[in-house]
Structure 1
Amino acid sequence: MTSSSTQGPTQASVGEFTPQQIEALFLNAAREGEADLLASFLEAGMKPDFRAEKGYTPLILASYNGHTDAVSVLLKHGAKPDLQDDKGATALAGVAFKGFLPIARLLLEAGAGVDVANGVGRTPLMFAVMFGRDEMARLLLKAGASPTHRDGEGLSAIDLAQRQGNAALLALMQGKEKGTAA
């Protein structure tokens, strides 16, 4: 039997993907929380801190979309928890805004900076307070978040809680500021 062609298969004939398509599939796996697929991509050599358009990393995408298993896979493969997108947001800022406590715990255990501010100076604690995520705010305070850090408008998390009339959180932060709260 002789081969009718000595050329290798063409790209279209074997369904190979371009590097851009592979990157898009990798990011989509993070966004959709497909932890097993993410692990396969990472084991095949994809970088856990790959940056997409707007500076999003797979960890930021998986975190923001509430995918605990995907976050865990990325962290186990060396994803850096404090990388910031083009607006300065970290994965922890996204989960503080959304209130995803299990993911926040994973990020903090992986060494995420609790007071990393975005481009306008807002920290994860500020997002938690602004969006009424009291349990998240408590977790961040326990992890050492500063209630007195001021954003670009000169506001602190204490100021934000006061504006919202959140007496319980305000008392907790004021106690922390004085060194009397846990």
Structure 2
Amino acid sequence: MSEQTPDEAAIDLAHQLFDWTREGQDERVAAYVDAGAPADLADPAGNTLLMLAAYHGHAGLVAELARRGADVNRANDRGQTPLAGAIFKAEPEVVAVLLEHGADPDAGTPTARATAEMFGRVALLEGQE
């Protein structure tokens, strides 16, 4: 059995970080970002760690990543922002954290505002849901 090249090891670590993010392993992901993993690490579809944390409802991890410099407005390759994803998934705590960290309701395609209107979740943007 051959050993991994440094590139293969980095790719495996990235995959693991994405998995831990989907699972909401806040401390583990934050520790790797603190150790030098990019706060805006993205998968091949442009989904950042923050996007995945938002989409999977992990408000604490969203906050930790935002505090470490992750871009709360960075859209994936389809133009979707973390805020629009959190509204689509009806995650009020995530929406609140993103707004606290400067997420723009009018960024992305469709915008978070348009997503909220489309799914009848405007109250999420107003902190009422």
Q: TM-score, normalised by structure 1?
A: 0.63
Q: Which amino acid aligns with 1:135?
A: A
Contact 2:95 2:125 in 1 (8 A): no
- Between the aligned partners of 2:61 and 2:126, the Cα distance in structure 1 is 25
Which residue in 2 is equivalent to 1:20?
11
Indicate whether 1:70 and 2:58 are aligned: no
Which residue in 2 is equivalent to 1:39?
30
Q: Which amino acid aligns with 1:62?
A: A
Select which of 69, 90, 95 maps to 1:99: 90
Which residue in 2 is equivalent to 1:124?
112
Contact 2:51 2:85 in 1 (8 A): yes
**Larger Rg computed on CA atoms:** 1
Q: Relative CO higher for 1 or 2, CA cutoff 8 Å, sep ≥ 6?
A: 2
Contact 1:49 1:79 in 2 (8 A): yes
Q: Which amino acid aligns with 1:32?
A: E
1:102 positional shift: 1.3
Q: Which amino acid aligns with 2:83?
A: L
Contact 1:30 1:61 in 2 (8 A): yes
The root-mean-square deviation of aligned C-alpha atoms, in Å, is 1.9
Indicate whether 1:55 and 2:43 are aligned: no
Select which of 65, 80, 90 maps to 2:71: 80
Number of residue equivalences: 124
| Secondary structure, aligned partner of 1:72 | helix
- Between the aligned partners of 1:55 and 1:85, the Cα distance in structure 2 is 4
Moved segments of 4+, more than 3 Å: 137-140
Contact 2:75 2:108 in 1 (8 A): no
Unaligned runs of 5+ in 2: none
- Between the aligned partners of 1:132 and 1:99, the Cα distance in structure 2 is 10
Q: Which amino acid aligns with 1:71?
A: V
